[in-house]
Amino acid sequence: MSTTGEEKKSAPAQPLFGKKERQLLSDPLDNNNPITVQVLGICSALAVTVQMEPAFYMSMGVIFVTMMSNLLISIMRNVIPSRVRIIVQLAVVSTFVIIVDQVLKAYAYEMSKQLSVFVGLIVTNCIIMGRLEAFAMANKPWPSLLDGIGNGLGYGAILMVVAFFRELIGSGSVYGYKVFDALGINYIGNGVMVIPAGAAIVIGLVIWAQRARNGMVESE
Amino acid sequence: MESLFNIFIRAIFIDNMIFAYFLGMCSYLAVSKKVKTAIGLGAAVTFVLSITVPLNWLVYNYFLKAGAMSWTGITALATVDLSFIGLIIYISVIAAFVQLIEMIIEKFSPALYAALGIFLPLIAVNCSILGGVLFMVGRPYSLGDATAFGLGSGVGWFLAVVALAAIREKLKYSNVPAPLRGLGITFIIVGLMSFGFLSFMGFSI
């Protein structure tokens, strides 16, 4: 959350894809991941990861919304009065979420049924509000756009990892493809992974693995 | 009457906001370090949920649903279906209500404001509030049902946050592997608690 103002230093003639811009994209994937490090946007991460397909659609939706709302808020950042900024942000975010919701209903109706309320809940996904507050309100449109994409991707990456394990262990398939049947092994799905409790435990273990690798320790 | 009680109990134990749907996790993890703050936010969530769910029920049934505005008597409005802009309306109702409550409490009860004040702005973006509203819209509830559901969901959230805070207070004295400390172990505990709540699954009233 301390990325504010980093971009302001290199004001004149910055390259479109300099080192800093690349960092904006790659940092949220690992060292500054929105889910495992910033602890944002957990609600939906746990609920839609029973299988990989809904997790994929959800990630796409979140990437689109973070990207567009970061861009729009960043363009408007100098005209938004700070007292009412939360309402303005909510209005912008929910507009994009409505677009995602309507597109899903029109072109992927089954998926929109399966995701049910969680598409609507992108509005209150803390990643989006968090990035708007911490980044888009203080930075130029282009870095904000990249930051939005980066954080959306970081969210998507964790979602896909958790969904991969839950689907593999829970129903013995990967993205709907029955792996164990194809190998000729008779696999009975482990019910623990299908219920929400499994999600919390998998994500806890993912965090453990990631932090053990990065050497990050939370002092408590 | 029995059905109202049934909805209330279901919302607390079986469809618990945290353990069955994982809604409101962000603030759930953030404030569950101390029991005292957990009680504060839990009370605020319960309060806001039990008011905004029926409030949004009224908005949905009298303005947004297909044909909902036939009560105005204007034929042009009788067939209008506004449910697609529902999201933006619900979140505005919630944000406006939270703002209003904050101002009222600040004016009339400084003691309560000191206890709840800092939590109220957080609530506008708490997924469990919007989640409760969206679940309510998706189910065929009456106004009474919606109120019972909102209150029950809030109490369920309250229970969950206080229970986790109590466990985390004890956890300070245990020797957790370094990379697992903090967020990692908390997630695993939430998972185990969720197993516990599964045992309510089978029972009906």
The answer as to whether A31 is a domain residue is: no
Calculate the average pLDDT of chain B: 83
* pLDDT attached to residue B54: 92
- Length of chain A measured in residues: 220
CB within 8 Å: A121 and B134: yes
Q: Which residues from A are below 8 Å from B29, CB to CB?
A: 39, 42
Rounded to 10°, the helix B143-171/B2-9 angle is 30
Size of interface A-B (CB pairs under 8 A): 139
pLDDT at B2: 62
Look up the domain containing A121 and give its range.
47-163
Q: Which residue of A has its CA nearest to B172?
A: A220
Alpha carbon of B148: minimum distance to chain A alpha carbons (Å):
20
* pLDDT above 50: residue A140: yes
Q: What DSSP line would sit under B140-178, residue for residue? A: T--HHHHHHHHHHHHHHHHHHHHHHHHHHHHHTTS---G
Classify residue A178: in a domain, yes or no. Answer: no
Residue A207 and residue B184: Cβ atoms within 8 Å? yes
> What is the per-residue pLDDT for A6?
42
* Residue A220 belongs to a domain: no
Distance CA A92, CA A72 (A): 8
- Integer CA distances (angstroms), A151 to A105, A218, B118, in order: 25, 21, 27
Q: How far is CA B168 from CA A123, B13, B115, B173, in A?
A: 29, 21, 21, 9
Closest residue of A to B93, CA-based?
Answer: A87
Alpha-carbon distance of B47 to A111, in angstroms, equals 33
Q: Within a domain: residue A40?
A: no
Number of domains chain A is built from: 1
**Looking at A21-25, A117-121, B136-140, which range is the least confident one?**
A21-25
Q: Do A46 and B22 touch (CB under 8 A)?
A: yes
In a mutational test of the A interface, the residue from B189, B190, B193 whose CB has the highest number of chain A CBs within 10 Å is B190
- In total, chain B counts a number of residues equal to 205
Q: Does residue A21 carry a pLDDT above 90?
A: no
Q: What is the pLDDT of residue B11?
A: 86
Which of A51, A48, A47, A29 is CA-nearest to residue A38? A29
CB-nearest partner of A204 from B21, B129, B191 = B191
- Of the candidates A39, A124, A195, the beta carbon closest to that of B29 is on A39
Residue A199 within a domain: no
* Residue A90 lies inside a defined structural domain of this protein: yes
Q: Do B87 and A97 touch (CB under 8 A)?
A: yes
From the list A36, A94, A200, which residue is nearest B91 (CB)? A94
Which tokens belong to A184? 């000729």
Torsion of the alpha carbons at A207, A210, A212 and A214, rounded to the nearest 10: -130
For A117, the closest chain B residue by CA position comes to: B134
Q: Considering chain A, what is the average pLDDT of its residues? A: 80
Residue A177 bridge partners (DSSP): A174
Which residue does chain A place closest to B175, by CA atoms? A220
Q: Count of CB atoms within 10 A of residue B204's CB?
A: 7
Please indicate whether residue B170 or residue B103 has the higher confidence score (pLDDT): B170
Answer with the residue of higher pLDDT: A57 or A83: A57
Domain annotation covers residue A114: yes
**Cβ contact (<8 Å) for A40 and B26?**
yes
- Residue B85: C-alpha distances to residues B67, B81, B93, B97 (Å): 15, 9, 13, 19
Q: Which of B92, B172, B194 sits opposite A197 (nearest CB)?
A: B194
Would you state the pLDDT for residue B194? 87
Q: Which of A126, A200, A217 has the CB atom closest to B194's CB atom?
A: A200
Cα separation, B157 vs B113, in Å, equals 21
The better pLDDT of the pair A179, A56 is held by A56
- The beta-carbon neighbor of B95 closest among A90, A95, A121 is A90
pLDDT digits (tens, 9 = 90+) for A30-59: 777 777 777 777 777 777 888 888 889 989
Kindly state whether residue A174 falls inside one of the protein's structural domains. no
Model confidence pLDDT, tens digit, residues B11-56: 888 888 888 888 888 778 877 888 888 888 888 889 889 999 999 9
Angstrom distance (rounded) from CA A98 to CA B87: 7
Chain B residue numbers with beta carbons less than 8 Å from the beta carbon of A101 are 84, 87
Closest CA to A210 of A28, A54, A56, A49: A28
